[in-house]
Amino acid sequence: MQNRERVERFTVTSIGHVENDVEDIRFDDWKALVSHLVIDEAYVEALDGIEQFSHLVGISRLHLPGKLLLKRHPRDREDLPIVGIFATRSQSRPNRLGLHLVRLLERKGNELLVKGLDAVSGTPLIDIKPYIPQLDMATNAAVPEWVDKLDECRRVHGEEK
């Protein structure tokens, strides 16, 4: 393998932003939340055909202040093991990018009405991709035992998957 110069910085341009009624990341009903993805007018043509998909994958810039953590208990639950930040979905990451699987409810011009987006109002959108089960779903995926404990907690508290 050749030595390659390490690129330290690059520029990413927002394609739009999130609008909803949530301003605090401690919101607890993300799965039921309906949000508007407002796409900049320059990218409206790029949305053509998107309404044929039931689900989308969004990439966002988690813009609220936060600190970088290298390790933590998932969801700050001390009954779960301390793991590296890359083994979690925490926002406390080096590049603070969010990955969101959402249900597309409707498209109106440059706006996408979606359900299940875990992002606060004002969050910049970096990209949107269609969810394609043949490409995006992993069969026989393995997860650590603590992930099943988080899932149990969701079922007990009535969160839908």
Question: pTM for the full model?
Answer: 0.82
Write the pLDDT tens digit of every residue in 61-107: 988 777 888 999 988 889 999 999 999 888 888 888 999 999 999 99
Domain boundaries of the chain, sorted by first residue: 16-156
* pLDDT at residue number 3: 58
Task: For residue 39, give every residue at least 6 positions away whose Cβ sits within 8 Å of its Cβ, in sequence order, or none.
Answer: 15, 16, 46, 47, 110, 111, 112, 125, 128
Q: Report the CATH number of the 16-156 domain.
A: 2.40.30.70
What pLDDT does 2 receive?
56
